Amino acid sequence: MDENVMKKARIWLSEEYDETTRQQVKNLIDNDPKGLVESFYKNLEFGTGGLRGIMGPGTNRMNVYTVGFATQGLANYLKTCFSGEKIRVAISHDSRNNSRKFAEHVADIFASNGFEVYLFDDLRPTPELSFAIRELKCHSGVMVTASHNPKEYNGYKAYWSDGSQVTSPHDVNIIKEVEKVTEVKQVLTGLNPENIHILGEDFDEKYLSAIKALQLSPKSVEKNADMKIVYTPLHGAGVRLTPASLRNFGFKNITIVPEQAVLDGNFPTVVSPNPENMEAMTMAINLAKKIDAELVMATDPDSDRVALALRIKQGEYVLLNGNQTLILLMCYQLTCWAENNKIKEGDYVVKTIVTSMMPEAVAKNYGVKCYNCLTGFKYIAKIIREHEGKNSYIGGGEESFGYLAGSYVRDKDGVSACSMAAEAAAWCRDTKGMTLYEWLQDLYVKYGFFREALVNVVREGKEGAAEIQQMMASFRENPPKSLLGSSVREVYDYTTLEVLDTKTGIRKAIEGIDDKSNVLQWITEDGTKVSVRPSGTEPKIKFYFGVKANLNSVSEFQETEQLLDKKIDELKKELHLA
């Protein structure tokens, strides 16, 4: 047994830790050496977005102690940044096991540090936490959630005063402060409970009103108010506010999947509460088939992500990927803005570097700028912050099922995205006499058929983390010279922020991005794009594939789709992923 692991574990047997925790650690020492190593071989890292990990005892697990250390470190940093001010923070949580317990612990620590604390009375969506920070003029905020991870996980997202997750230099500086908190006695608790203020349904109305202000086609909704919509919150925080927002927009025929409207951190009806997966959407789609719904939508447990399934004909539905959802929402916004003469010089949209290249073609058509940024919605928020007061942000998103229309919050918003998607479906019916899926096909004819896929390679634990790093090092040292016979024209390395022109050997700075990230990207002569990056929140390395073909007419859609999918399958084989 590693001596360092045992040393750290024995500390957790001391009287500073509660009896249940001590017993759990003792059981690991006596009966589960592998589990002991995984629980203590390192400290759960407070990364650039906060914490995320498996729940349990130990320094590498999510528990009240690791949450406490992180919160005290964040509190110490806030006191440094806002010296002399009365610091205000907002706190929310999702439906995961222990989320309320962790959120109340965070509130106690902040209050004990002398902060004014705004704690929601129950679970709320992540975007409402972002909204609360802005609305209440808070200096920071915390959302207790592990997003769409499996039930064993929980997490902790840290937010800054603009309502976005923390970015440089605050992220790195917070990490330094968190690392200084190593003992339970350093964490302040049990003081100033009067500093904790509870936010209830009255505050929800402010958030819902901000979403309602995004509405673009109220007349189309009025004509299609009875359009059948099926929604599932996947046992999470969207259960009340997503249907409320849809009703606010004017939709009356909303059916919620009853089994998945039950708040349960064990997510009993799904393997994983990730709406990207067809398995998680099965109950909703089956219900849609039964009632012949026009549109199926889902949000993840903290309701920042949205997934859409569209009816292609009676009894048949197709689950969109995140890129397709983004395209539909962005095209709907841009079309309506253009029709209403709202677009001005300098207006812009945003996407991440691993998202489809199609938004760039769409934005060019409407004369708006399309900015690229690193993966993570905080980088989209950073661009909004940089342009605030100068140019208007229209919308933006990422391939991982996140979209934000408008700048009232600074994180992806599944609640508003559901309302916007439903309105787009009503608008298509009213103005074009077609479904959203038929309009998507038309968009592919107009802009080119962009097709994307994602492969997640999971590598668990200490050995898995080392293997992922070795894979990245190998790709960095020996990038492919060609992909499916097409020469790799450019190699992007976001750790150095340089792009290599393989023909000339010249390296140039990557334009428009000044934050570094462990991402590699290869673009071939025929426009194929492959991106590789380790996940920042899960034990995975991710491979993103993007291919393109011209689509001459909708009648050729299925054939072209099959050709592009075949090309992606061949790419996976060439990179030994299939």
- Which residues are catalytic, by number? 147
> Which residues contact residue 55 at a Cβ distance below 8 angstroms, ignoring those fewer than 6 apart?
61, 62, 63, 97, 98, 152, 153, 154
Q: Using alpha carbons only, what angle is made at residue 474 by residues 470 and 476, rounded to the nearest 5 degrees?
A: 115
Rounded CA separation 418/414 (Å) = 6
Instruction: Please state at what angle helix 414-427 crosses helix 126-135, rounded to 10 degrees.
Output: 110
Burial class of residue 561 in the structure, from the number of CB atoms within 10 Å of its CB (0-12 exposed, 13-18 middle, 19+ buried): middle
For residue 400, give both structure tokens: 């991982």
Half-sphere exposure at residue 109, Cβ-oriented, CA atoms within 13 angstroms: 27
Tokens of 271: 């393997």
Are the beta carbons of 120 and 135 closer than 8 angstroms?
no
For the record, the structure tokens of 2 come out as 């590693």
CA distance 19 to 32: 19
Q: Are 252 and 459 in contact (CB under 8 A)?
A: no
520 in Cβ contact with 493 (< 8 Å): yes
- The token pair at 126 is 């992540």
Taking alpha carbons only, the member of 141, 122, 116, 121 closest to residue 131 is: 141
Instruction: Please report where in the chains the tokens 């309302």 appear, as a residue.
Output: 419
Name the 3-class secondary structure at 42: coil
317: tokens are 């539905």
Residue 213: closest CA among 422, 408, 410, 411: 408
Q: Which two tokens stand for residue 78?
A: 């806030």
Q: What is the dihedral of CA 362, 365, 366, 370, to 10 degrees?
A: 50
